[in-house]
Each structure stands twice: as C-alpha cells, then as structure tokens.
A = this chain, B = another copy of it.
C-alpha cells in the first residue's frame, strides 16, 4: 500500500503504517455499525467472516517486527522526545505501549481466548435464559484462568496485582488499588443515601415514563436534542438499534444509535443524550491526527465521563428541563403531556430506585452495581472467590449494597455478557466515567458561572467549547488521571460525584 523512500524518517514511516492500520480499523467499524443497524439477518455468517478477516489483517499490520523497529528508532531520536507531551513524543509513547501489549501474548493464548470466548458467549446466553448458573460455571472458570495467564504475559508493577494488567486495556495507567480507594468512600456514603431515598415519603410519580409516544415522534425528539447539544449531523448519523452505542468511524464520520419503545420516551432520550456525549467526544478529536494516539480518545473512563456529563449533569438538571419541557410538549404533540410541568419532568427524570438490572438502573444506584462487579471480578481473578460461590456472594452483597433480594441468577450474576466476552477490568470504567464527569463538571461550573442560565436558554455551545479545548483536542496527550489533575487541579475523588448526587437528590426526595 504505502511507498516509502529513504528520505522518510522512521517517524514518518511509522505514522504511515499506523495510518493504514487505523484506516482498516475504520472499515471494520463501518461493518460493525452496519451489522447492528441495517444488515439483513441472513448476512450474519458472511459478516462474521468479513470482520474476522479484517481483524486478522489489522493484527498483522500492527505486530509486524518492522513496526517495533521503527518505534525503537523513534525512541532513540532525542529531538522527537525532548518534550514528553509534544505530539510526536505522545504518539511514540502510546505506539510503544500498544505494540508491546499486542506482541506480548503468545499466539496460542490469543487463539484459546478467542475460542473460549466464542463458546462461553453461547453458553452464557443459554444459561442466562434458563437462570442456570452451573451451565456457565465451567466457562467462567476457564475464562478466569485464561485472564490470569493473560495478565501474567502483560505483566504488572511489583506493588500491583494481575487485575492492573487487564485494566490497562480499558483504563491505561489505572490500578485496582487506586480505584478501590475511591470506590469505597463512594459506596459508604451512597448506600445510606439510597436507603434514605427508598424511605422517602415524597417520591417522583414516574408518570412521565408511562406516556405513550409514537416512535417516529421519539425519533424526531432524539434528533432535536442531539442537534441542540451540538452533535453535527453533517458528519454523523443517529440510527435505531437494540443496544445503543456510538461508533467514531473516522474524520467526518461518527455514528450514534439509540432505541425506542412505545412507552418510556425518557429512556430513549437519556440513551440518546448519553450516546451524543460519546459522539461529541469523537467529533471533537482532531481529524488531522487520525491514525495517531493524538487523534484518539484516552480511556473508556474518560469516554464515559463525556456521555455521562451530557446524560446526567446536563440532561437530568433542573435548568435543562426548564428549557426542554416546552420543547417536548411542542415536538411530541401528545395531549397527555400537557399536565406535566417542567418541575414534574425534572423530578421524573431523577427517579432513584434499587433494581436488579444494571443497564436499567438509575444515576445513583448504577454505581453500586459497578462496585459489586469490580469487587467480585477482582476476587475471581485473584482466586479468592471460586466461580462456584459467585451466585451466593453476589446475592449477599447485592442485599448489603442495594437492600433488595436477587430472585434468580438471570437477574443476578448472569445478567451481563462481559465475563463471557473475557472483559475483566472493564466494569469499573463505567463508574470512573461518573466520577470524572462530576469532577470535571464542578470545574466547568467554576469556569463558566452562567452555565445553568445557558442551559435554561437551551444553549450548550460554551460547555462544548470547554470540553473541546480541555478534553477532546488533547487526544491521548495525558493519561486519564493526569488529565483530571491537569484540568481540575485535584486527584480524582468521590467527593464531586457525591456532592452532585446529594445536592440534587435530597431536594427531589425532600430529604
């Protein structure tokens, strides 16, 4: 594909190679998006073949020894690395990190993981359907064993643990210990708050979630809100799917998906705002850096901070609803909505209620679902928790954190596909997203004192400009924790998220 000449530097050659791999990845991303949106069912088998071919090609392009040699040559170039946060130095640092990880796993282990994942997913799906944990148990054992091997191949710091090695795939630089040190105080104040809320005599009615709104009207509303927040439809789309996601394909191409039910339009709305947040991050990456770490998002935690900020800090605020309530009524044209004031809608958007399924849970209880999974997968990986004991421990801890009794494993430890997929270390990034979101938003509110007034006018451009400048444009210049400190002046902590939740939920629930 590429023609290189002697006059090219190692850095240019490397950039070109990595650009080629990124371009092919963006092709795979289109196929992945299309599979969830428009692909006919009968094409499933052929599509799997197409995606597997691309994955193999991308892998070959990124692990070839010449890439390693070029990275080494770049590392020896003092000028390129003089400033550790220059574009070149950042790209070299990240290319090295990714190359080392990709080449550290023996092919036999990669193949065994792929094979086991594939089997485990099928068994998990059947086990969940029948709430039959013993069926899944041997696969969970095998997955955890393979994850331990993977962690050993990657390696981790002497004062760290295997979990850190896996975390690195999703949240580079984070450690289990650090996460624990933030999650524990969060849990210790969040669990009692949720208990207080459960006992409140002044709960929102939830009536808004029961209004029937035709799907095409919900679709219009979703596009309207996404556009209002700043999503550019010239370089993006919003489509319908079963499980909403956002896919940043490449420069000028970002795809959002959301879902619609006949009832529960607030659910479609928060899905849309959530994915719009991801999409705004993708659209905010510098297109000219495509194919380099400087043009990529930092981590899953930071990505999630963007989606959560638009979904929660913006989309569940009193100021947002004071602007949005009349828009909803006008756009949807559903008579039943007329009886809801902006305050009613705001209250209903902030319902908090312990429930069994993570993906259906609310802004506050969600974090307890995550902590539970973080603690259990960490213990499973260490071998401190035996897979056979998972259901019992899950249910017991669920009772302790959320105060409700898990009725069966389908609504308990079998609900998520992550472990069957071999995704260990992924879960904590969801709550890290909430934490980063809250901490960044406190800083933004200081920097832009009129922010809430702007929301009341349906103006979100200044918030987006701030995020572009302080987060999006940096690509992977900083690690997530460093970016947080650089921008907010403080280490990540549980305090801002607790202030956000308590500050909003106590008045809503009259506590």
Contact = CB atoms under 8 A, between A and B. Distances in A.
Contacts of A46: 26, 249-253, 290
A38 B237 contact: yes
B42 A23 contact: no
Contacts of A27: 27, 31, 50, 53-54
A172 interface: no
Interface in A250-301: 250-253, 290
A152 interface: no
A358 interface: no
A57 interface: yes
A45 interface: yes
Interface stretch (A227-235, A422-430, A485-493): A227-235
B251 A45 contact: yes
A83 to B, nearest CB: 30
A250 B239 CA distance: 24
A335 interface: no
A38 to B, nearest CB: 6
Interface in A48-65: 49-50, 53-54, 56-57, 60
A43 B1 contact: no
A480 to B, nearest CB: 27
Given A27-B27, A38-B239, A39-B253, 15 more contacts: A1-B56, A23-B49, A26-B50, A30-B30, A30-B50, A40-B233, A40-B236, A41-B234, A42-B232, A43-B250, A44-B252, A45-B252, A46-B249, A46-B251, A46-B252
Contact of A40 (B39, B43, B253): B253
Contacts of A44: 252
Given A40-B236, A233-B40, A20 B252 contact: no
A64 to B, nearest CB: 14
Contacts of A24: 53
Nearest to A41: B234
A280 to B, nearest CB: 15
Contacts of A50: 23, 26-27, 30, 250
Nearest to A50: B27
A246 to B, nearest CB: 14
A135 interface: no
Number of identical protomers: 2
A234 B49 contact: no
A500 interface: no
Given A31-B30, A50-B23, A42 B1 contact: no
A450 to B, nearest CB: 31
A23 B235 contact: no
A217 interface: no
A158 B5 CA distance: 43
A232 B41 CA distance: 11
Q: Which of A42, A47, A234, A236 is the most central at the interface, judged by chain B CB atoms within 10 Å of its CB?
A: A42
A108 to B, nearest CB: 14
Nearest to A53: B23
Given A234-B41, A252-B44, A1 B57 contact: yes
Interface in A10-49: 20, 23-24, 26-27, 30-31, 34, 38-47, 49
A408 B50 CA distance: 47
A126 B361 CA distance: 57
6 contacts: A1-B57, A24-B53, A38-B237, A44-B252, A45-B252, A46-B252
Contact of A43 (B45, B47, B249): B249
A2 to B, nearest CB: 9
A42 B235 contact: yes
A63 to B, nearest CB: 14
A49 B291 CA distance: 12
